[in-house]
Structure formats: C-alpha cells, structure tokens
Structure 1
Amino acid sequence: MRTEPTWRIPIGILGLIAALLLYGFIIARYAPAIIGDWPTWAQTLVYLTLGVIWIRPLRNFLIWMETGHWGVRPQD
C-alpha cells in the first residue's frame, strides 16, 4: 500500500476522462451512420456492447494508477 501521494492518480484521472470523451465522441459520430438502418434490437445490442467494452482496459489502467505497473505485478 502506498503511503505518499503520486502524480499518477491526477494524471490518470485526467487521461481517463480524456479517453472516455474521445471514445464517446467517436461512437456518437460514427456508429449511427453504420448501424442507423438496423433493427432497434440490433442497435441496442451494439450500443450495450460499446458501452461496456471500455471497462476491460480500465482494470489495468487503475492498477497502473495505484502501483506504477501495468497489469498484475508478478509475486516476488
């Protein structure tokens, strides 16, 4: 457990916000043009998938913010 403040947390939060804004902009800009004519149920599945897909890399990112290592650190 770290006991001192680190620069990774505020930079990580700003980076996370920027990445999510960019991801949301890209999805909002291009997804309707691609799937706009699809049935409503198919559009719903696509948007649900796109809305959850960003969570997968978030785990490694949060680990980096806390430890400074990307992903799970091997046991010493």
Structure 2
Amino acid sequence: MSAHVRKLIGTIMLLIFMVLYLAIAAAIGSGRISEANGFAQFAYFLIAGLLWVIPAALLIRWMARPD
C-alpha cells in the first residue's frame, strides 16, 4: 500500500474515531459523572481527555510508515 493511500485511509479513520470517541466521552461525562464528586469528575475528564492519544498515535505511526 502506498504512503498516499495509507495517509488517506488513516485520516478518514482518525476523523471517524475522534467523532465517536468525543460522542461517547461526552455522553458519559454528562450522565453519571455529572452526579459524582469533584475529584471523580476531575479524574474522569483527565483520563478521557488523554486516553484518545494512544490509538491516535498508533494510527499516525502506521500512516507515517515508509513504503
């Protein structure tokens, strides 16, 4: 697979992943987490705000692989 095709596929996959992740994290954050204490809210939003980096980094590394 050429680098151009990998980058196109990776970009589309990254956009779809980010939209789905954002929707799920926001739904959880506005649901049960909104009723939790301040520390639990902080912990959730800290983890949810950083957790997307791992799959995105793996996808970007795949996209940047040399031919």
Render the CA deviation track for 1:28-76: whole Å, top value 9, x for unaligned.
11332221211223202211110101111222211211227xxxxxxxx
- Cα distance change of structure 1 residues 5 and 60 upon mapping to structure 2, 3 Å threshold: closer
Q: Which has the higher helix share?
A: 2
Match of 2:46 in 1: 48
Aligned length: 65
Tell me the TM-score normalised to structure 1 length. Answer: 0.70
The structure with the largest alpha-carbon Rg is 1
**Greater RCO between the two (CA within 8 Å, min separation 6)?**
2
Residue aligning to 1:24: 22
The yes-or-no answer on 1:9 pairing with 2:2 is no
Of 9-18 and 32-41, the range deviating more from structure 2: 32-41
Identity score, percent: 26
Runs of 5+ in structure 2 lacking a partner? Answer: none
In the alignment, the residues of structure 2 paired with residue 41 and residue 56 of structure 1 have an alpha-carbon distance, to the nearest angstrom, of 24
